[in-house]
Structure formats: C-alpha cells, structure tokens
Amino acid sequence: MRRALAALTILLCAAPLAACGGSESAPGDTKDPKVIDVTFKGDSVTPNGERVEVATGQDVELHVTADAPGEIHVHSTPEQELTYDKGETTLTIHGIDAPGTVDVESHSLDKVIVQLEVR
C-alpha cells in the first residue's frame, strides 16, 4: 500500500512539471510574420523609408506588386537579397536576431523601402 501511495504521489507531483517542460518554443517560433505591402511603380516605391517595428526573430513578409522585376537588399547580419518578378510576389525576410535598425532597400531604385526597428 505504501508503494502505491508513493507512486501515486510521485505521479501527481510530476504531472504539472511534465506539462510545463519542453513545451516552450524558442523566441520567434510562434510569432506571426509582420506583413508589409510594397508597391513599385516607375521610379517610386511605397512605403518609402517608413519605420516598422518587429520583434527579434520575427519574420517579415513583403507582399510586392511591381511593374518590373527587381531586387531588394536587407542590411541584416547575415545580409539577405530577395528578387521579385513583375506582378505580385511574396518575399520573406527571415527573422533578425539582433536588436537595432535594419534598412530594406531597392537596389534598382537606390531607395530605402522600410527601416525595420528590431526590438
């Protein structure tokens, strides 16, 4: 009887620990991506240099509408280069691990699209 009570006590004490242990995800794993609509038309891009807050490790999705193909450069560590086609394209900037400001620019237009404020 003592063994049964001891085993039951251990199981009841261990159950709450098992429920907590191992279920936590790494930072950035459960965050929804930040979505930014980007439009290229002629020599202009919208947004144009706006600051956008993102969490450390959070992915950013760029929904690009463009009248010509081009390339986007993300000045993160490591740097990321993304290409888009004429029409609609969705691009993913993979989560940035270091807090700070990261410029996202159009190489073809030589303009800053957004500045990501990573917090």
pLDDT at 37: 98
The low-confidence residues of the chain, meaning pLDDT below 50, are: 4-29
Q: What is residue 109's DSSP assignment?
A: T
pLDDT at 92: 97
Give the tens place of pLDDT for each residue, 23-34.
333 444 458 999
- Domain 34-118: CATH superfamily is Cupredoxins -  blue copper proteins (2.60.40.420)
Domain chopping of the chain, boundaries:
34-118
CA distances to 52, 57, 61, 73, 87 from 97, in Å:
16, 5, 16, 17, 31
What pTM value is reported for the model?
Answer: 0.72
pLDDT at 88: 97
